[in-house]
């Protein structure tokens, strides 16, 4: 499998979980894959397709995605085709003929094709070895992107009961996951859930004030790089694209109101790097397989966290640092409320309001945004530590990059909580602030709240500051918010206890936007020669234009950066660059080496030996260990002394789980330490091992839940160390 991986895709190593998923598919077992956008889902069915004798069917919801993936597969020397409404009948007939003759390994299909009885009969004549259902959440009404056409996929298990199905999605809560498995009638599927953490993405939220000026600053930083700006309406996309053009940016609009020819043209110009910016509604992006998008902006916050995480997932799919910026104003909620009000079904409307509340909660967070997102998807996030062993934050969200100043909020918190109680725990923020600021509105006077003791007792905080303090009190569980379009505040038991016991409280001040934050957030993976990189980009574009395909299908930015770092001087060295398979080595190796060698000669630069991927991974871990050498060295020393885990944790002032993660890093870096003495009792270990096998993947929470919360996260993390032995 690794030989096929290198030959056709140019990679030496699998990404996390890919190999296990592929083995399960090759064993002809039903498989469910939950993997974030950019995690490498497609390879999980594309590689097995090369091993199977027959054809692999892939169901995909968007025409653009099919075309991009098929073009990419063909560029790698794989026989792939697609059938959808964009093709004329004569071309579809030829593709069906080729498929019958065994000339097609992977056939992409639109879900609506399955509603046609003649097409169902055609499928019965094929030798099908695997059925892959991409964007599988589209089959669930509980998902954020339900598509009625996906209900046609139920026929697969009845018509092809012996053929394995692999269902893949990037965003699914546990409820949606169970619904997908039930709807597709998957037979005891093995579930693989990889980490949702996209470590190369930075998450930034900025107030929607002087928004267009801020947008210009952010885009200036990403000149000549691909960016997507998600807008609320068709009108907004046209307005922003037009305004950006006046500012000298190459921007195009994309929305469902444009005719199909214009949409297709704008999309192709973006994919082929002819246009750097697309201002779009959410109609754009689900089918985009462009790996080098460096910036995703939400000009208005989206309506669900699932949708948001899928949309920001368009950024940095090649693994290089990329930014996700959202402009936030609570006032934008009205835009979403208007459409939610049109939903007639009470259950569906309430569900939409709840999801909207969750995205607002994310925007109003005062703690790490990465942690919030991962927790939402059921994943525990462990913060890295600095050299002093303290929480270093995620290092890639506006909260962690720019820690907020704290202040003594004891008195103002007491005033707010008292006001909520004295007004009956039944009003929203605006009303409560008006009472506290002493505004005799008609409603306040009618309710007699201009006569209560808290009326007008706050003069030292602005309304915006008061809103921020109330948000903090909600996050600290001193206040709670009701669900719905008109949320009200009430004091929790913890809040009542705080008032009675006269506790003290420190909270963060409202965050001011920092220009530096947006200019300095990206982190470079490797040092590389910018001059050579730009020459290689120009060569890539020239070749791509001649072949009529997007530049990234020639080589990714990752490949070009490695070329501009190592300066490979012969085909053997060049073949070790990530993304260089035998087909691409043969087709493009010569011309790229010529440019590299000429540039090296002109600038007197020597070539470096390109290490293989395994060696690079170990080197990266060693750098990690070295960066925190004092901490890791202390852990290593105590493990060599065979001290029990609780004793090590107590000595270093960490949790046992953190010490287990230290040990994991030491082992991965090749440190010679014997940890056999730390292995949990055999009965406990076997139970945890079985839970990992049943849950699939390496995430702790599914195992924690599966075991009925009988074992702590620390115990599970420790047992996990021995699963790799």
Q: Which residues contact 337 (CB under 8 A, 6 or more apart)?
A: 356, 485
pLDDT of amino acid 721: 83
pLDDT at 522 over 60: no
Average of pLDDT values for 394-411? 83
CATH number, domain at 384?
Answer: 3.40.50.300
Domain boundary among 147, 170, 193: 193
In the listed set 578, 610, 642, which residue is the last one of a domain according to the structure? 610
> Mean pLDDT highest for which of 293-302, 382-391, 570-579?
293-302
The angle formed by the CA atoms of residues 235, 240 and 241, to the nearest 5 degrees, is 100
* Whether pLDDT at 391 is above 60: no
513 found inside a domain: no
550 within 8 A of 573, measured Cβ to Cβ: no
pLDDT of 518: 53
Residue 490's CATH number: 1.10.10.10
pLDDT of 119 over the 60 cut: yes
Among the listed ranges 154-158, 188-192, 483-487, 558-562, which one has the minimum average pLDDT value?
483-487
Quote the CA–CA distance of 706 and 152 in Å, as a whole number: 32
Q: 305-312 and 346-363 helices cross at what angle (nearest 10)? A: 60
β-pair partners for 362: none
Q: Which of 309-313, 369-373, 669-673 has the least mean pLDDT?
A: 669-673
pLDDT attached to residue 384: 65
Closest CA to 556 of 323, 311, 289: 289
Q: Grade residue 169 by pLDDT with cuts at 50, 70 and 90.
A: confident
pLDDT at position 496, please?
93
Whether residue 118 is contained in a domain is answered as: yes
Domain membership flag for residue 326: yes
With a cut of 50, say whether residue 627 has pLDDT above it: no
361: left (phi over 0), alpha (psi -120 to 50) or beta: alpha
Query: pLDDT of 10-46, one tens digit each?
Result: 887 787 788 889 999 999 999 999 887 767 888 999 9
> For the residues 558-574, what does the mean pLDDT come to?
92
The mean pLDDT value of the chain amounts to 85
Which residue, 174, 139, 131, is CA-closest to 30?
Answer: 131
pLDDT tens digits, residue range 424-433?
999 999 999 9
Q: What percent of the chain has pLDDT over 70?
A: 90
Asked if residue 340 and residue 205 are part of one domain, the reply reads yes
Q: 404: how many CB neighbours lie within 10 A of its CB?
A: 16
If one counts the domains in the chain, the total is 4
What pLDDT score was predicted for residue 57? 95
| DSSP 8-state assignment for residue 382 | P
Which residue has tokens 């190999």? 19
Looking at the structure, tell me whether residues 218 and 184 fall in a common domain. no
Task: For residue 568, tell me if it sits in a domain.
Answer: yes
The tens digit of pLDDT for each residue in 66-103 reads: 887 888 888 888 999 999 888 889 999 999 999 999 99
Whether the pLDDT of residue 388 is over 50: the answer is: no
649 is a domain residue:
no
Find residue 165's DSSP bridge partners.
131
Around Cβ 709, how many Cβ atoms within 10 Å?
9
* pLDDT at residue 506, as a whole number: 84
pLDDT confidence bin for 564, thresholds 50/70/90: very high
Contact criterion met (CB below 8 Å) for 230 and 282: yes
Looking at the fold, whether 379 and 461 belong to one and the same domain comes out as no
Please determine, for residue 597, whether its predicted confidence score (pLDDT) is greater than 50: yes
Judge whether residue 521 has pLDDT over 60: no
CATH number at residue 557: 1.10.150.80
What pLDDT was estimated at residue 724? 66
| pLDDT tens digits, one per residue of 82-92 | 998 888 899 99
For residues 135-150, give the mean pLDDT: 75
- Structure-model confidence comparison of residues 672 and 327, the more confident one: 327
pLDDT tops 70 at residue 272: yes
Other C-beta atoms within 10 Å of 316: how many? 27
The answer on 394 and 345 residing in a single domain is yes
pLDDT at 367: 80
The more confidently predicted of residues 436 and 111 is 436
Do 187 and 151 belong together in one domain? Answer: yes
Residue 387 reports pLDDT greater than 50: no
The stretches of 485-628 forming alpha helices (DSSP H) are: 493-501, 515-520, 530-547, 557-566, 571-574, 582-602, 613-627
Position 511 scores a pLDDT of 61
Q: Quick one: average pLDDT of 698-725?
A: 80
Q: Looking at the structure, do residues 274 and 419 belong to the same domain, yes or no?
A: no
Question: Is 491's pLDDT higher than 90?
Answer: yes
Residue identified by tokens 């501009």 is 564
Lowest mean pLDDT among 332-341, 537-546, 589-598: 332-341
287: confidence class by pLDDT, cuts 50, 70, 90: low
CA distances from 5 to 8, 312, 571 (A): 6, 27, 19
187 shares its domain with 47: yes
Q: Is pLDDT of 290 > 50? A: yes
Of 303-317, 336-350, 507-521, least confident by mean pLDDT is: 507-521
**Domain that includes residue 142, residue range:** 2-193
**Is pLDDT at 526 greater than 90 in this prediction?**
no
Q: Which residue has the higher pLDDT, 65 or 543?
A: 543
How many Å is the Cα radius of gyration of the chain? Answer: 28
Report the C-alpha gap between 677 and 34 in whole angstroms: 35
627 in a structural domain: no
Which residue has better confidence, 626 or 125?
Answer: 125
Q: What is the pLDDT of residue 104?
A: 94
Structural domain includes residue 517: no
Whether residue 365 sits in one domain with residue 284: yes
Q: What is the pLDDT of residue 175?
A: 78
Q: Do 538 and 501 share a structural domain? A: no
| pLDDT for the residue numbered 614 | 58
Q: Is the pLDDT of residue 629 over 70?
A: no
Residue ending a domain, among 169, 193, 217, is: 193
Distance separating alpha carbons of residues 260 and 256, to the nearest angstrom: 8
What does the pLDDT look like over 310-342, one tens digit per residue?
889 889 888 888 999 999 988 888 888 888 888
Q: How far apart are CA 473 and CA 516, in angstroms?
A: 29
Give the separation between CA 358 and CA 325, rounded to whole angstroms: 18
Q: Per-residue confidence at 58, pLDDT binned at 50, 70, 90?
A: very high
Considering the domain architecture, whether residues 493 and 534 belong to the same structural domain is answered as: no
Let me know if 449 is exposed, middle or buried by CB neighbors in 10 A (0-12, 13-18, 19+).
Answer: buried
Is 333 a domain residue? yes
DSSP assignment of 548-585 equals TS-GGGT--HHHHHHHHHH---SHHHHTTSTT--HHHH
Q: Residue 392: is its pLDDT beyond 80?
A: no
Q: How many residues in the chain?
A: 725
Predicted local confidence at residue 583, as pLDDT: 84
Confidence band for 692, pLDDT divided at 50, 70 and 90: confident
Residues 207 and 339 in one domain: yes
pTM for the structure as a whole = 0.69
State the virtual CA torsion across 452, 454, 457, 463 in degrees, nearest 10: -110
Q: With 90 as the cut, is the pLDDT of residue 611 above it?
A: no
Task: Identify the pLDDT of residue 65.
Answer: 74
- Say yes or no: 83 and 151 in one domain: yes
pLDDT the model gives residue 298: 96
Pick from 386, 452, 447, 388: nearest CA to 419: 452
């Amino acid at each position: 499998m690794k030989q096929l991986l290198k030959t056709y895709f140019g990679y030496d190593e699998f990404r996390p979980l890919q190999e296990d998923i592929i083995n399960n598919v090759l064993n002809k077992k039903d498989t469910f894959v939950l993997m974030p956008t950019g995690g490498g889902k497609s390879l999980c069915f594309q590689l097995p397709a090369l091993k199977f004798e027959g054809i692999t069917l892939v169901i995909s919801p968007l025409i653009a995605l099919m075309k991009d993936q098929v073009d990419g597969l063909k560029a790698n020397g794989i026989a792939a085709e697609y059938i959808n409404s964009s093709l004329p009948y004569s071309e579809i007939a030829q593709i069906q003929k080729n498929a019958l003759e065994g000339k097609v390994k992977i056939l992409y299909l639109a879900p609506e094709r399955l509603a046609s009885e003649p097409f169902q009969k055609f499928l019965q004549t094929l030798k099908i070895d695997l059925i892959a259902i991409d964007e599988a959440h589209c089959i669930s009404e509980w998902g954020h992107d339900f598509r009625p056409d996906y209900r046609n996929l139920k026929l697969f298990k009845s018509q092809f009961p012996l053929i394995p199905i692999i269902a893949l999605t990037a965003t699914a809560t546990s409820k949606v996951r169970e619904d997908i498995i039930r709807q597709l009638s998957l037979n005891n599927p093995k579930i693989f859930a990889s980490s949702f953490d996209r470590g190369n993405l930075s998450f930034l939220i900025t107030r929607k004030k002087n928004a267009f000026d801020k947008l210009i600053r952010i885009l200036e930083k990403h000149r000549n790089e691909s960016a997507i700006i998600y807008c609320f309406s068709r009108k907004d996309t046209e307005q922003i694209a037009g305004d950006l053009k006046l500012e000298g940016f190459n921007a195009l609009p994309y929305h469902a109101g444009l005719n199909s020819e214009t949409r297709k043209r704008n999309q192709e110009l973006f994919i082929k790097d002819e246009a750097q910016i697309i201002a779009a509604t959410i109609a754009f992006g689900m089918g985009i397989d462009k790996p080098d998008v460096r910036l995703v902006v939400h000009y208005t916050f989206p309506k669900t966290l699932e949708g948001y995480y899928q949309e920001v997932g368009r950024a940095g799919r090649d693994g290089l640092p990329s930014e996700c910026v959202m402009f936030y104003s609570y006032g934008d909620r009205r835009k979403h409320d208007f459409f939610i009000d049109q939903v007639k079904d009470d259950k569906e409307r309430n569900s939409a309001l709840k999801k909207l509340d969750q995205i607002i909660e994310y925007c109003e967070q005062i703690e790490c945004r990465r942690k919030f997102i991962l927790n939402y998807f059921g994943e525990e996030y462990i913060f890295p530590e600095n050299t002093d062993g303290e929480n270093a934050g995620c290092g890639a969200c506006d909260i962690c990059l720019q820690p907020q100043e704290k202040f003594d909020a004891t008195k103002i918190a007491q005033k707010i909580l008292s006001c909520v109680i004295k007004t009956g725990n039944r009003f929203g923020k605006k009303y409560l602030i008006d009472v506290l600021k002493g505004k005799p509105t008609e409603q306040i006077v009618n309710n007699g709240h201009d006569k209560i003791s808290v009326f007008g007792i706050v003069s030292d905080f602005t309304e915006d500051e008061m809103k921020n303090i109330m948000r903090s009190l909600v996050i600290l569980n001193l206040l709670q918010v009701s669900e719905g379009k008109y949320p009200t505040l009430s004091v929790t038991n913890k809040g009542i206890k705080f008032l009675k016991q006269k506790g003290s409280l420190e909270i963060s001040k409202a965050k001011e936007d920092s220009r530096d934050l947006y200019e300095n957030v990206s982190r470079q993976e490797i040092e590389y020669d910018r001059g050579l990189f730009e020459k290689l980009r120009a060569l890539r574009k020239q070749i791509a234009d001649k072949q009529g395909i997007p530049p990234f299908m020639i080589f990714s930015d990752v490949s070009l950066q490695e070329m501009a770092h190592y300066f490979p001087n012969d085909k053997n060295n060049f073949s070790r660059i990530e993304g260089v398979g035998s087909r691409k080595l043969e087709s493009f190796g010569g011309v790229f080496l010529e440019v590299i060698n000429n540039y090296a000669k002109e600038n007197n630069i020597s070539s470096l030996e390109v290490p293989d991927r395994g060696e690079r991974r170990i080197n990266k871990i060693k750098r990690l260990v070295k960066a925190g050498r004092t901490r890791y060295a202390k852990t290593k020393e105590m493990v060599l002394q065979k001290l029990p885990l609780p004793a090590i944790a107590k000595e270093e002032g960490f949790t046992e789980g953190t010490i287990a993660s230290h040990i994991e890093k030491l082992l991965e870096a090749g440190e010679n330490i014997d940890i056999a003495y730390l292995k949990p009792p055999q009965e406990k270990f076997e139970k945890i091992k079985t839970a990992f096998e049943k849950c699939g993947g390496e995430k702790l929470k599914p195992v924690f839940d599966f075991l009925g919360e009988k074992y702590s996260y620390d115990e599970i993390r420790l047992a996990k160390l021995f699963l790799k032995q």
